[in-house]
Structure 1
Amino acid sequence: MAVTGRFVALVAFGVVPIVVFGVLTGDAAPAFLGWLVLCLVLGVLDVVLAGSPRQLELHRQLPSRVRLGESATSSLFVTNRGRRRVRGLVRDAWQPSAGAPPARLRVDVPPAERRSVSLILTPFRRGERRVSQVTVRSFGPMGLLARQATLNCAGRLRVLPAFSSRKHLPSRIARLRELDGATSVMVRGQGTEFDSLREYVRGDDVRSIDWRATARRGDVMIRTWRPERDRRVVVVTDTGRTSAARIDDEPRIDTAFESALLLAALATRAGDRVDYLAYDRRVRGRVQGTTGAELMSRLVDAMALVDPELIETDWDAIPAQVRQITSQRALVVLQTSIDAPGAAHGLLAVLPQLTRRHVVVVTSVVDPATMAATRDRGSRESVYRAAAAERSMLDIERVSAAIRQLGAEVVTGSPATLPPALADAYLALKASGRL
């Protein structure tokens, strides 16, 4: 049972004159008690005449998935199985991160009828947003007291990564078409296949001259090459403690997801096979053996459920995990953090095992605030801050140099620039024939 503002106002409406009368006469106690009894009788009568919220049957309808930053509508259907009309309020107990407004929705459901109420959800975190209960408050005809019950009505909404970096996909696909079609790769390298013959022009690689065709045609002819299809791309996301840090108001792991999704979409269009692994000390997510639209669907589903773990990543197990995925030569993308030399020791220790068999690219997010701090030296405090920022950037350069010495590539950038930078690195590997 819940007390409403009307009941409080009713009690106050009678108490004020009784108190004033009691001050004048000196005998207000009987009148005061009588008024309270009358108010309680009216309240009990109101509760008896109110419809029972436990006679309501609830059914929920909402989409199963929504992208982070987008909105979804949750519809709640309320069916009255009782004999009295239910006039009241409904509060849907969603998690705060589901982005539900703090609103109590009014319902008026006659007996044996159904009404619906809708709620707009705008989640601000990935993952499963859940709701299990709905609280209904049913008022009587006078609105003095209300009957209240909490009913079970489970719901679930999976919030997928935003994939805002897909805006870079059309320009990268256009460059991929240039590599694969209109302007074939002019440099002969490992991992390319023969495309066609054409006449030699100044600047072409003399190693691509086809001497037999030159003898037949009487002109110098060279071979052109196009990138091979059906290559393997393995993306490994570090879900250890360093992935939980927020950079530019975004967790590192979310930037890694954006980069992986853009790379997967581009590699799929190039005809390559993409496998994905999220790992720290155990597998947090795996997508393997799918292509096309199904690949992207499974990727976002797997990523939606992965959160950073506050433990150190077991880098010694990464080569074995990659071998389980593929025994062929592949592009292995390691998404981690290299801004802390101490945390990068495990990565540097296992890189030789990977670079012997694969092309390895290490990606890491760089804080744009740190880069901006190196340029701000207007005060004593900003000079000290700039020195600390310079030290941090030097640490990143030191680790990057060590990674390159071990035969891997390094791609760094802010949360906004890292996804397209990784896509550009992939296209560069394609163009050079290394993939």
Structure 2
Amino acid sequence: MTGAVLLLLAVDLALAAPLRALTAERAGDRAVRLGGTATVTVNLRNASGRPLRAVVRDAWVPSAGARPETPPTRVVHVAPGAVLALPNHLTPTRRGDRHTAALTVRSFGPLGLAFRQRNGRPATPPWRLRVLPRFDSRRHLPEKLSRLRVIDGTQVGRGRGPGTEFDALREYVSGDDVRSIDWRASARRAEVLVRTWRPERDRRLICVLDTGRTSAVRLGDEPRLDASIDATLLLTALAARAGDRVEVLAADATTRVSVGAAERPAQWGRLAHALAPLQPALVETDFRRIAGELLRRHRPRSLVVLLTALEPGALGEGLLPVLPRLAARHRVLVAAAQDPVLTRLASEPPRRVEDAYAAAAAWRTLAERDRLTAVLNRHDVTVVDTPAPHLATALADAYLHLKSTARH
């Protein structure tokens, strides 16, 4: 009986479709927004002369959220020379690039007693799914655009006002800035004339994302960097509609991402793909190098938006020494997402001795943050300090305020 069983096993193994005759290819989505679902299909071709009876497992990294349409325990059948499509639905839980892990095929004989399985057969076709940022703040874009149209209409209707582009000459009236008097034109006309200026339409906006160690702090379910990315996407979409030239720089000790100005239809797509694989680095951010690069590469006056953390140890020691030079040439805005843990520790009454020490540390950190904000304000730097869920809208509001007052 043992010999008969061994014979049946040998015959069943011999009749199983050989793995060397199997080829696999992938097709499907290359990108998906975080929270969405993508479909990637494995096309398994049986080039042998035997029918294929197999269990197929298409493995991905855990964060890809793979849900195969065909369960891995189900036996599939592929006729000789035929192709079987095996869809896999992916709902990623993290942004960035998600790669395939392994494709495993277990080929059974007709009796189901023996099977062939070998690592690397068939070869796993490579595939990369890029998970784009969620961009939850997109829902606020229509309201911000309506405010932008009101601002543009007010400036166009006014015709003259603060700005840097010369518009016309008019007579001096009480209250005009004496620095705007055109003395040569006044001498020719024998009356005091002042120059009027109109706001620029083509301005520059530079968003700098801090990807250093402070960007790795988790604010709720996501790191601070994700809140900065979401705010950057909303701000750049708004600025592009306003006609501004937008550039984005992500850096810590080195430059991680640099996205230059592009045409409006392609701007968001390029930026989302560039920021998707960005991850925090556990290093100190070199603000001196960032400021030096901004001063070297961007000579025209621009609005520099720095998305970082209001931490005196990093921002105070790195940025403050070079801030006077940077603020003299550019308009600077610092946007930071607050840590909810500090707010909770400072607001809840302590119940234990350990809670009292934690609350004292939180109060001290908040006081240092307030002192740093005051120092930045003295250098004419606009500071946006708000909880992470409201960072994108608060930054957009600050941008619109600067635009309405012709300070950008």
Whichever of the two has the greater Rg, that structure is: 1
The code of the aligned residue for 2:220 comes to D
> How far apart are the structure 2 equivalents of 1:106 and 1:411?
58
CA separation of 1:45/1:340 partners in 2, compared to 1, >3 Å: closer, same or farther?
A: farther
Any conservation in 2 of the 1:275–1:287 contact (CA below 8 Å)? yes
Partner of 1:416, secondary structure, is helix
Match of 2:45 among 79, 99, 117: 79
Any conservation in 1 of the 2:203–2:302 contact (CA below 8 Å)? yes
**Structure-2 residue corresponding to 1:315:** 287
**What is the RMSD computed on CA atoms of the aligned residues?**
2.6
Task: Show the 5 A alignment for 1:49-88.
Answer: 49-88=15-54
Any conservation in 1 of the 2:227–2:337 contact (CA below 8 Å)? yes
**Structure-2 residue corresponding to 1:12:** none
**Structure-1 residue corresponding to 2:229:** 257
Gap runs ≥5 in structure 1: 1-33, 198-204, 209-222
Task: Show the 5 A alignment for 1:2-401.
Answer: 34-35=1-2, 37-101=3-67, 103-104=71-72, 106-131=75-100, 133-149=102-118, 150=120, 151-152=122-123, 153-181=125-153, 188-191=161-164, 207=176, 227-342=199-314, 344-377=316-349, 379-380=351-352, 382-401=355-374
Any conservation in 2 of the 1:128–1:305 contact (CA below 8 Å)? yes
Equivalent pairs counted in the alignment come to 379
Match of 1:429 among 399, 402, 408: 402
Any conservation in 2 of the 1:179–1:226 contact (CA below 8 Å)? no
The code of the aligned residue for 1:346 comes to G
**Structure-1 residue corresponding to 2:188:** none
- The Cα offsets for residues 8-43 of structure 1, whole Å up to 9 and x where unpaired, read as xxxxxxxxxxxxxxxxxxxxxxxxxx44x4433322
Shift of 1:344: 3.2
Any conservation in 2 of the 1:184–1:224 contact (CA below 8 Å)? no
Match of 2:382 among 406, 409, 415: 409
- The Cα offsets for residues 22-71 of structure 1, whole Å up to 9 and x where unpaired, read as xxxxxxxxxxxx44x44333222221111123211111002121111211
Any conservation in 2 of the 1:192–1:433 contact (CA below 8 Å)? no
> How far apart are the structure 1 equivalents of 2:282 and 2:150?
44
> How far apart are the structure 1 equivalents of 2:197 and 2:135?
33
The code of the aligned residue for 2:55 comes to L
CA separation of 1:418/1:225 partners in 2, compared to 1, >3 Å: closer, same or farther?
A: farther
Partner of 1:101, secondary structure, is strand
CA separation of 1:108/1:62 partners in 2, compared to 1, >3 Å: closer, same or farther?
A: same
> How far apart are the structure 1 equivalents of 2:365 and 2:165?
39
**Bigger CA drift: 262-271 or 364-373?**
364-373
Shift of 1:185: 8.2
Shift of 1:260: 0.8
CA separation of 1:334/1:242 partners in 2, compared to 1, >3 Å: closer, same or farther?
A: same
Partner of 1:344, secondary structure, is helix
> How far apart are the structure 1 equivalents of 2:103 and 2:132?
25
Any conservation in 1 of the 2:285–2:314 contact (CA below 8 Å)? no
CA separation of 1:189/1:382 partners in 2, compared to 1, >3 Å: closer, same or farther?
A: farther
Gap runs ≥5 in structure 2: 178-194
Shift of 1:346: 0.3
- TM-score by structure 2 length? 0.86
- The Cα offsets for residues 128-153 of structure 1, whole Å up to 9 and x where unpaired, read as 21126411111112212211133221
- TM-score by structure 1 length? 0.81
Shift of 1:277: 0.7
